[in-house]
Amino acid sequence: MKSTTLLFLIISAYSWGQEGNYKFNNFGNRSILLSGNVTGSVSDIGLVYYNPARLTALENIGFEFNAKAYQINSLKLTTIFDEERQLDNTSFGGVPSLAGGTFKLFGERFAYSFLARRRSNFNLGLSSREITDNITELYPDVETYNLKASINSKVDEDWYGLTWAKEISKNFSLGISVFGSSYSYNGVRSVNHTIQYNEDAVAYFLTKTGFDQKSYGFHIKLGAFYKLNNIDLGLNINVPYIEIYNEGGYNFNEVTSGVGNGFDVFYDYEFEDLSANLKEPLGISLGAGIPIKRSKIHLNIDFVSGLSNYSRINVPNIEIGDASSTPIFFNEERQFVLNFGVGGEVYVSDKFKSYFGFSTDFNAYKSSATVFDLSTDDAENTAIAADYYHLSGGIDWKMSWANIVLGVTYASGSSSFQNPFNLNLSGLDLNTTQDSSLSYKRYQFIIGLKIPLADNIKNKIKKATE
């Protein structure tokens, strides 16, 4: 075996779109329905994420959460293994959520929050006995062929936050949110080919690659809010991620058997407690809430700086039969991104409002650790990246005991990239001349609930019965 190229593809409806797309998930009941275009005008507990300075502009909102709403994800992967094969997957699951509330202490305004920042648990598998042309070309006497492949990816990231805001003047406030975070990311990719090409000859190929990464640290958001006449203006700065602890692991297993003398191999590597690194870049958001009678238009511009190429997990070189040791790449590089969006808040009555939103969500990846590239020195990382467009809409219904928010969001994107299951081995050549493509659609169904403090509930019930 002179060369081996193994592309490790972590295809996840969430992890694929969460780290390189900065507006993939939104938080806070009304903020979700406005597609996150609320830097200058956030009016729910989502302020802890979008602009902590807005805390001074809100009444005491008690406890609030955007409930574990549901979403449908549709994923389609084409041109894998050969031009004919494709994978379709539709999943139904929960939406990342936010919970928190506000309180006063020593005359100062505070908010506490828990944010399920990212959630992904994705499994994609393929099993086939179809004998294709490229198999018969290599093994004209093939009798039985079995292909099994699987991709598994899981991402969990939780933020635990405390927010403080101070009114500097009647029209100007500053605020800060500090989140302690825990991050976990792991994935496994396995491909198995078994070929029986006469009564007593069997060729067997197995490749299995996996990794895991954990990181603990702090995310800090600095906010400013200014009221110009009746227009709300806001600035939010996302400070680059402050990492406290990080570790990674990697494993690689390859077996080739029954191909011929001199070609059978067995490699088995497992590394733990590897040094690792996780970075999040500087981000700046500007927003405005412009009233139109009793309704409001929400505008937003979001700038996120890039990241120079760095290694997320530092894996030692491995020996796989080449003249020199083979490096393992788990690198990431991002370009700067500029997104924009608009939302609308339509007043119907004191108890009923409707919302809509639109935002761009351009991908920042130039190269990405979501593609694991094990190859020779001249190989390049390949980024699976898509530009998304988000649409949202819903209602806010105010009742005596709570506010209920109902809505739906839609996102779509697609990407083309180098075929992820190329396998060049002496005796087996399963390649395609075409690129693979990945298309993704998501529908979220939002059910949010805001519960005022006990005293506020009593007052509202009292007024309703008078």
Q: Is the pLDDT of residue 299 over 90?
A: yes
Query: Of 12-16, 233-237, 271-275, 450-454, which range is least confident?
Result: 12-16
Task: Write the DSSP assignment of 223-270 as a string of letters.
Answer: EEEEEETTEEEEEEEEPPPEEEEEEEEEEEEEEEESS-TTT-EEEEEE
pLDDT digit string (tens) for 109-123? 899 999 988 877 777
Query: Of 18-32, 49-63, 79-93, 283-297, which range is least confident?
Result: 79-93
Closest-CA residue to 356 (of 302, 426, 402, 407): 407
More confident residue, 177 or 403: 177
More confident residue, 137 or 223: 223
At residue 325 the predicted structure's pLDDT band, cuts being 50, 70 and 90, is confident
Average pLDDT over residues 182-192: 89
More confident residue, 233 or 145: 233
Instruction: Please report, rounded to a whole number, the percentage of residues in the chain having pLDDT higher than 70.
Output: 75
- Asked if 52 and 175 count as a contact pair (C-beta separation under 8 A), the reply is yes
Tell the residue number behind the tokens 């078994």, with chain if given: 194
- Asked if 354 and 393 count as a contact pair (C-beta separation under 8 A), the reply is yes
At residue 91 the predicted structure's pLDDT band, cuts being 50, 70 and 90, is low
At residue 385 the predicted structure's pLDDT band, cuts being 50, 70 and 90, is low
Query: Of 226-240, 344-358, 412-426, which range is least confident?
Result: 412-426
Average pLDDT over residues 399-426: 69
At residue 341 the predicted structure's pLDDT band, cuts being 50, 70 and 90, is very high
At residue 386 the predicted structure's pLDDT band, cuts being 50, 70 and 90, is confident
**Interatomic CA distance for residues 117 and 26, integer angstroms:** 9
**Interatomic CA distance for residues 463 and 466, integer angstroms:** 5
Residue 136 DSSP class: H
**Interatomic CA distance for residues 338 and 362, integer angstroms:** 7
At residue 378 the predicted structure's pLDDT band, cuts being 50, 70 and 90, is very low
Query: Of 40-49, 169-178, 235-244, which range is least confident?
Result: 40-49
465 contacts: CB under 8 Å, gap ≥ 6: none
Q: Is the pLDDT of residue 182 over 50?
A: yes
Which range, 97-101, 149-153, 182-186, has the best average confidence (pLDDT)? 182-186
pLDDT at 263: 79
Tell the residue number behind the tokens 């694929």, with chain if given: 16
pLDDT at 466: 54
Residue 48 DSSP class: H
Tokens of 186: 């792991």
Strands 388-398 vs 436-451: parallel, antiparallel or unpaired? unpaired
Q: Is the pLDDT of residue 359 over 90?
A: yes
More confident residue, 11 or 306: 306
Query: Of 74-83, 319-328, 357-366, which range is least confident?
Result: 74-83
pLDDT digit string (tens) for 42-79? 988 899 999 999 999 887 655 565 555 677 766 666 65
pLDDT at 143: 85
Q: Is the pLDDT of residue 377 over 60?
A: no
Q: Which CATH number is correct for 6-465, 2.40.160.60, 1.10.760.10, 3.20.20.70, 3.40.50.1370?
A: 2.40.160.60
What strands lie across the sheet with 365-367, from one edge to the other?
A: 307-311, 331-334, 365-367
Q: Is the pLDDT of residue 270 over 80?
A: yes
At residue 280 the predicted structure's pLDDT band, cuts being 50, 70 and 90, is very high
Quote the mean pLDDT of the chain: 80
**Interatomic CA distance for residues 202 and 259, integer angstroms:** 8
- Asked if 49 and 98 count as a contact pair (C-beta separation under 8 A), the reply is yes
Which range, 3-12, 180-189, 230-239, has the best average confidence (pLDDT)? 230-239
Query: Of 98-102, 316-320, 433-437, 448-452, which range is least confident?
Result: 433-437
At residue 381 the predicted structure's pLDDT band, cuts being 50, 70 and 90, is very low
User: What are the φ/ψ torsions at residue 55 (nearest 5 degrees)?
Assistant: -60, -35
pLDDT at 375: 32
At residue 426 the predicted structure's pLDDT band, cuts being 50, 70 and 90, is very low
